[in-house]
Amino acid sequence: MSAVVAEHDDHHDDHAHGPAKGLLRWVITTNHKDIGTLYLVFSLAMFFVGGAMAMIIRAELFEPGLQFVQPQFFNSMTTMHALVMVFGAVMPAFVGLANWMIPMMIGAPDMALPRMNNMSFWMLVAGISLLASTLFMEGGSPAGGWTMYPPLMLQTGKALPFAIFAVHLLGISSIMGSINIIATIFNMRAPGMTLMKMPLFVWTWLITAFLLIAIMPVFAGAVTMLLTDKFFGTSFFDAAGGGDPVLYEHIFWFFGHPEVYVMILPAFGVTSTIIPVFARKPLFGYSSMVYATASIAFLSFIVWAHHMFTVGMPIAGELYFMYATMLIAIPTGVKVFNWTATMWKGSMTFETPMLFSIAFVVLFTMGGFTGLMMSIAPSDFQYHDTYFIVAHFHYTLVPAAVFSLMAAGYYWLPKWTGHMYNEKIGQLHFWLSAVSVNILFFPQHFLGLAGMPRRIPDYAVQFADWNMISSIGGFIFGASQLLFLYIVIDTIRGGTGEKVTDEVWEDAHKHGLEWTLPSPPPYHTFTTPPAVIPTEHI
């Protein structure tokens, strides 16, 4: 079957083969690469905004006592740091990768629904803008935690409806993006690209997209009820009217648990893509990776109440959610095993993407293990709402999700730009990040086990030493990320000056269709479906 891009007469303007001129190009673009770039640039900016908030948090916690900020503002910072990082940085970064890579990986000319693709990006910007605007409002931005539990959240000042509508917009954005990804993967694959030949990054995103469509409306529903409770006299979360604040927690975590997997499944995909290239071996256990990802996604829907063991559930509920949660360790273990087995006896080299990916495997496993500890309901009563949980989810999010994003950035930047990044500075960035992230988060395990609660601006003096060490790690980690910003800008502007080949990495063409394209790829790729599908990644 031969195919061409349909160029209809009424669309045959000067720009049919290239981008529109000027800044407007970025506003009205329907090109998956442009939109991918928009997502990635936006998420990088939000990474630094959210990071600045984290720096405020760590500065305040450097020493016991109140140093720099008021407690209310401190709580705003923990809340906004989480919301910005989750919805503004990590999720959009993965959507950006999906936009850039999925069409190129499956041999499609573009995303299935390009206009909606544009809208989902601008909805994201609108949502984050609405959220950020609350920083300047009377009563401050939301300070009740990113989980927005009532009744505490209902005490928010003027920011409350803005934060709620921001969630709605972000939800619309995510749902549009997910629908697009599903339609693209199911409908736009090149002939011969069967489902079980798809790169794992595509598989993990397909499953993530289903998660998002199933959970974002749940979050939207939950915050809608917050809104009506506050402004329209309903009593969903008010026991006086027959409602129950615990109901909110159930609904929120029914969204929230799959949501944390939304941030890690594409990271699994990135890692599964990068490790085989630098181990010079096909991925070990491809199909088991697919099934493991699907199992993790399924399990994520039936374990939510492990976030609320201390809420006063019946004992049967505690036991069920405890054992169901432990089950997740099995497919996750399959994945870690497969990554390790892929590296086993490989001829490995350690370029920056590989370094970040190996760190991902090691440090994500650490975050996974603390997760197992907390899944044990009776033990969780000790860990709940302490710095132990903070350490746990930061291990799964920073040296896992964020590291995989860094790995993806280094891995694909040469493909995107046609230039090679500076490997020396890249490795410096890696080592600074990998060491400092452990100085930052590892002591928080000790703090949590010793009983330091999360979300407080001040603490007992017994926690002083580890907090200071953690803060120092935080400052080093934060500063190190400026190196990444430098490298990205430098690479876009020409990098080392070395012209990269189409496959960039040795024998990368065996691992994905994107490496058969020129670096940088033309504005429109696969105007005809690729004839040969590489199968060696299986």
Partner 1 sequence: MSTTDTYYIPHKATWPVIGTAGLLTMLAGFANYLNGSSIGPTMMVLGLVIFIIMLTGWFTLQATESESGMYSTQVGISYRMGMMWFIFSEIVFFAVFFGTLWYTRNLSVPWLGGEGTGAATKELLWPSFDATWPTNGPKALGVDESGARKFGAELEPMGAWGLPFLNTLILLSSGVTVTWAHHGLLAKNRDQLIKGLIATVALGFLFVSFQAYEYHEAYTEMGLTLGSGIYGSTFFMLTGFHGLHVCIGAIILSVVLFRSWKGHFNPENHFAFEAAAWYWHFVDVVWLGLFIFVYLL
Q: Specify whether 523 is catalytic.
A: no
Q: Binding marks (x or -) toward partner 1, 149..168, rule CB under 8 A?
A: ---------x--xx-xx--x
Q: Specify whether 81 is catalytic.
A: yes
With CA atoms as reference, report the closest residue to 284 among 354, 342, 218.
342
Q: Report in angstroms how near the CB of residue 149 gets to partner 1 at its nearest.
A: 16
Contact indicator for 55, 478 with CB cutoff of 8 Å: yes
Q: Does 296 bind partner 1 (CB under 8 A)?
A: no
Which listed range, 47-55, 104-112, 277-285, 318-326, lies at the site for partner 1 (CB under 8 A)?
104-112
Q: Which residues lie closer than 8 Å to 240 by C-beta, 6 or more apart? A: none
Q: Does 2 bind partner 1 (CB under 8 A)?
A: yes
Q: Specify whether 535 is catalytic.
A: no
What is the C-alpha separation between 43 and 498, in angstroms, rounded?
A: 27
Q: Does 1 bind partner 1 (CB under 8 A)?
A: yes
Specify the residue, 109 or 353, whose C-beta has the smaller distance to partner 1. 109
Q: Which of 29, 78, 204, 272 is catalytic?
A: 272
Q: Does 238 bind partner 1 (CB under 8 A)?
A: yes
Contact indicator for 54, 81 with CB cutoff of 8 Å: yes
- DSSP string over 205-248: HHHHHHHHHHHHHHHHHHHHHHHHHHHS---TT-GGGT--HHHH
Q: Specify whether 146 is catalytic.
A: yes
Q: Which of residues 305-344 bind partner 1 (CB under 8 A)?
A: 312, 314
End-to-end CA distance of the chain: 25
Contact indicator for 88, 148 with CB cutoff of 8 Å: no
Q: Specify whether 261 is catalytic.
A: yes
Q: What's at 293, amino acid-wise?
A: T
Q: Which of 261, 410, 416, 459 is catalytic?
A: 261
What is the C-alpha separation between 285 and 338, in angstroms, rounded?
A: 6
Count residues near partner 1 (CB under 8 A). 84
Q: Does 67 bind partner 1 (CB under 8 A)?
A: no
Q: Does 464 bind partner 1 (CB under 8 A)?
A: no
Q: Specify whether 454 is catalytic.
A: yes
User: And the tokens for 397?
Assistant: 């999010």
Please pick, from the candidates 57, 153, 175, 366, the single residue that binds partner 1 as defined by CB under 8 A. 175
Q: Which of 281, 307, 392, 537 is catalytic?
A: 307
Q: Does 252 bind partner 1 (CB under 8 A)?
A: no
Q: Report in angstroms how near the CB of residue 470 gets to partner 1 at its nearest.
A: 37
Q: Does 407 bind partner 1 (CB under 8 A)?
A: no
Contact indicator for 164, 225 with CB cutoff of 8 Å: no
Q: Does 298 bind partner 1 (CB under 8 A)?
A: no
Q: Which of residues 416-435 bind partner 1 (CB under 8 A)?
A: none
- Using a 10 angstrom Cβ sphere, with 0-12 exposed, 13-18 middle and 19 or more buried, the burial of residue 475 is middle
Please pick, from the candidates 71, 151, 250, 310, the single residue that binds partner 1 as defined by CB under 8 A. 250
Residue with tokens 């790169």: 199
- Using a 10 angstrom Cβ sphere, with 0-12 exposed, 13-18 middle and 19 or more buried, the burial of residue 268 is buried
Q: Does 8 bind partner 1 (CB under 8 A)?
A: yes
- Enzyme catalytic residues: 81, 110, 146, 173-174, 257, 259, 261, 272, 306-307, 332, 335, 454
